[in-house]
Amino acid sequence: MYSNDTIAAIATAVGESGIGIIRISGPEAIAITNQVFEPKQDKDLNEVESYTAHYGHIVEEEQVVDEVITLVMKEPKTYTKEDVVEINCHGGTVVLRKILDLILNQGARLAEPGEFTKRAFLNGRIDLAQAEAVADLIQSKTEASMEVALDQLEGGLSDQVNDIRQDLIALLAHLEATIDFPEDEIEDFQSEELGARIDTVQQKIDDLLATSERGKILKEGVEAAIVGRPNVGKSSLLNALVREKRAIVTDIPGTTRDVIEEVINIDGIPVKIIDTAGIRNAENQIEKIGVEKSEEYLTKAELILLVVDISDGITDEDKRLMRDAQNKEVVVIANKLDLEHQLELEKIKEILPEAAIVKTAAIANQGINELEDAIANLVYSGKINAQEETMVSSLRHKKALERAKENVSDVKSTWEQGLPNDFLTIDLRAALEAVNEITGDAVGEDIIDQIFADFCLGK
């Protein structure tokens, strides 16, 4: 059970940026910082104004640890609604850890992941959807997913869900008004209008749900597999990709060393490349993977990077792999392509008409940018525009929306059967409850308030 103690943590992701921030929150935040911070001008942090920055040093036994700027923010107008101090330092990981240690030694407790947000939420600073966005933010690995999380944090998702919620409430209020006030002159819904309104809500839920797939991709990444017959250049392709884009996550710790995930960042999308052990140790291991193993990866991965060596022509083995990849997102990497093999491209298109084809002469040196573009295009394709879209990225939200979708489609079928209005309200209400789980609202008086806001009722 949490008590109001003071917590501290490194707020910037380890090793990712030039400056690091340590955040401290709780009743003792300022006093604790004061113990280890020596300001340039002689002042006491306990006495400074809220939202002021102070330049100075972090010292340990009179030794300067780092040169820092300390930001003091006093409750309640802070993220957690508690006193918050942020120490901005230059140091890399080692220095950050050192300073954090000093703070912890002064009586702060190491914050659990997401605990700042939890406090913000419990203190009523942010709503449930926003809190979950922060949790995503903490876990998100690349900028694109960060943007989704940020959008959600700023209420983007709440706005869209609220829009759906308002539609449901308005529908219910109208139906309920005609039921509870049968003698007031409220126009009954015309059947077609009712059907159209149900369709509109359905569409909005569908649209939002459609983004959930992408929300997942941006957060968890795309699983990609490099496949191809032996000796077409798979390992040099992988190494080139990894070299270019520093791997941001390395191996999964665990039971077996058989599988390694290389996660590379392509235009903000984490792309996980499923790989076997020791690629970098044993250069050619990947090449040993034959067609069979490739087929196995083919079924698992969401994205297929299929390498063919055009100089050999398109072989039967290539064709088999291509056919297996037919209902996947595919980028074909046509290696060693020159003019005299141009014809072979047609053969690829015959089997994979939709696939992006990237031509490379020598993978290690050329074509990597084109390949990255092709991958990014695939992921960002379709109607979704990653920059502006609000996305559903939490599983809990997705499940709630799916339930709402089911309820609304039940409403539609009730309507199609021509059952009396009362039957529509059962599933409409269930849909509203599902949506409320995202926003954290209770059904309660909302419908009744809406009835009286929309209609002149009562005698």
Partner 1 sequence: MKEYDVVVIGAGHAGCEAALASARMGCSTLLLTLNVDHVALMPCNPSIGGPAKGHIVREIDALGGQMGRNIDKSYVNIMMLNTSKGPAVHALRAQADKPTYQSEMIRTLEAEENLDLKQDVVTELLVENQEVTGVKTITGMSYQAPKVVLTTGTSLNGKVIIGDVKYTGGRQGEFAATHLADSLKDAGIELDKFQTATPPRIDQQTVDFSGMRIHPGSEEKLQFSFFQDRAEREQKPCWVTHTNERTKEVIESNIEDSPLSTGIVEGEGPRYCPSIDRKIMRFPEKTSHQVFVEPEGMDTNELYLNGLTTSMPEELQVKIIQSVPGLEEAEIMRPGYAVQYDAIPTYQLNSTMENKRVKGLYTAGQINATSGYEEAAAQGLMAGINAVLSLRDQDPLILKRSDAYIGVLIDDLVNENPKEPYRMLTSRAEYRLLLRQDNADLRLSEIGYDLGLLSDEEYQQVRKKDTAITDTMQYLDNNRITPTKEVRATLKDLNSGGLKKPVSLATILARPELDYQDLNLLVDDLPEVKPEIAEQIEIETKYRGYIEKQMRQVEKFKKMEKKKLPEDIDYSELETLRTEAREKLDKIRPVSLGQASRIPGVSPADISALMIYLETYKQDADDEEEE
Q: Which residue has the tokens 């942010």?
A: 126
Under the binding rule (CB under 8 A), the answer on residue 459 touching partner 1 is yes
Q: Does the annotation place 459 within a ligand binding site?
A: yes
Near partner 1 by CB under 8 A, which window of 48-56, 115-123, 250-258, 373-381?
Answer: 115-123
Q: Does the annotation place 454 within a ligand binding site?
A: no
Under the binding rule (CB under 8 A), the answer on residue 166 touching partner 1 is no
Q: Which of residues 401-420 bind partner 1 (CB under 8 A)?
A: 417-420
Q: Which is nearer to partner 1, 4 or 105 (CB)?
A: 4
Q: Which is nearer to partner 1, 224 or 451 (CB)?
A: 451
Q: How far is the CB of 424 from partner 1 (least distance, A)?
A: 9
Q: Which is nearer to partner 1, 57 or 429 (CB)?
A: 429
Under the binding rule (CB under 8 A), the answer on residue 94 touching partner 1 is no
Under the binding rule (CB under 8 A), the answer on residue 447 touching partner 1 is yes
Under the binding rule (CB under 8 A), the answer on residue 395 touching partner 1 is no
| x-or-dash string of contact with partner 1, 361-380, rule CB under 8 A | --------------------
Under the binding rule (CB under 8 A), the answer on residue 180 touching partner 1 is yes
3-class SS letters over the chain: CCCCCCEEEECCCCCCCCCEEEEEECCCHHHHHHHHEEECCCCCHHHCCCCEEEEEEEEECCEEEEEEEEEEECCCCCCCCCCEEEEEECCCHHHHHHHHHHHHHCCCEECCCCHHHHHHHHCCCCCHHHHHHHHHHHHCCCHHHHHHHHHHHCCHHHHHHHHHHHHHHHHHHHHHHHHHCCCCCCCCCCHHHHHHHHHHHHHHHHHHHHHHHHHHHHHHCEEEEEECCCCCCHHHHHHHHHHHCCCCECCCCCCCCCEEEEEEEECCEEEEEEEECCCCCCCCHHHHCCHHHHHHHHHHCCEEEEEEEHHHCCCHHHHHHHHHCCCCEEEEEEECCCHHHHHHHHHHHHHCCCCEEEEECCCCCCCHHHHHHHHHHHHHCCCCCCCCCCCCCCHHHHHHHHHHHHHHHHHHHHHHCCCCHHHHHHHHHHHHHHHHHHHCCCCCCHHHHHHHHHCCCCC
Near partner 1 by CB under 8 A, which window of 18-26, 212-220, 250-258, 434-442?
Answer: 434-442
Q: Which is nearer to partner 1, 42 or 185 (CB)?
A: 185
- Sequence-separated (6 or more) residues with CB below 8 Å from residue 222: 269, 270, 271, 272, 302, 303, 375, 379
Among 15, 18, 182, 254, binds partner 1 (CB under 8 A): 182
Q: How far is the CB of 124 from partner 1 (least distance, A)?
A: 5
Among 15, 124, 253, 254, binds partner 1 (CB under 8 A): 124
Under the binding rule (CB under 8 A), the answer on residue 443 touching partner 1 is yes
Q: How far is the CB of 437 from partner 1 (least distance, A)?
A: 7
Cβ–Cβ < 8 Å for 241, 305: no
Under the binding rule (CB under 8 A), the answer on residue 189 touching partner 1 is no
CA dihedral 405, 411, 417, 418 (to 10 degrees): -150
Near partner 1 by CB under 8 A, which window of 172-180, 234-242, 252-260, 336-344?
Answer: 172-180
Q: How far is the CB of 387 from partner 1 (least distance, A)?
A: 31
Under the binding rule (CB under 8 A), the answer on residue 112 touching partner 1 is no
Q: Does the annotation place 276 within a ligand binding site?
A: yes
Written as six digits, the tokens of 431 are 């849909």
Under the binding rule (CB under 8 A), the answer on residue 185 touching partner 1 is yes
Q: How far is the CB of 9 from partner 1 (least distance, A)?
A: 20
Q: Which amino acid is at 89?
A: C
Q: Does the annotation place 234 within a ligand binding site?
A: yes
The size of the interface with partner 1 (CB under 8 A), counted in residues, is: 45
Other C-beta atoms lying within 10 Å of the C-beta of residue 363: 24
Q: Does the annotation place 251 within a ligand binding site?
A: yes
CA dihedral 92, 94, 96, 100 (to 10 degrees): 180
Q: Which is nearer to partner 1, 54 or 398 (CB)?
A: 398
Under the binding rule (CB under 8 A), the answer on residue 448 touching partner 1 is yes
Q: Does the annotation place 56 within a ligand binding site?
A: no
Binding site for partner 1 (CB under 8 A): 1-4, 121-124, 128, 172, 176, 178-185, 417-423, 425-427, 429-430, 437, 440, 442-445, 447-448, 451-452, 456-459
Summarize the annotated binding site for Mg(2+) as residue ranges.
235, 256
Summarize the annotated binding site for (6S)-5-formyl-5,6,7,8-tetrahydrofolate as residue ranges.
23, 86, 125, 459
Summarize the annotated binding site for GTP as residue ranges.
231-236, 250-256, 275-278
Summarize the annotated binding site as residue ranges.
23, 86, 125, 231-236, 250-256, 275-278, 459
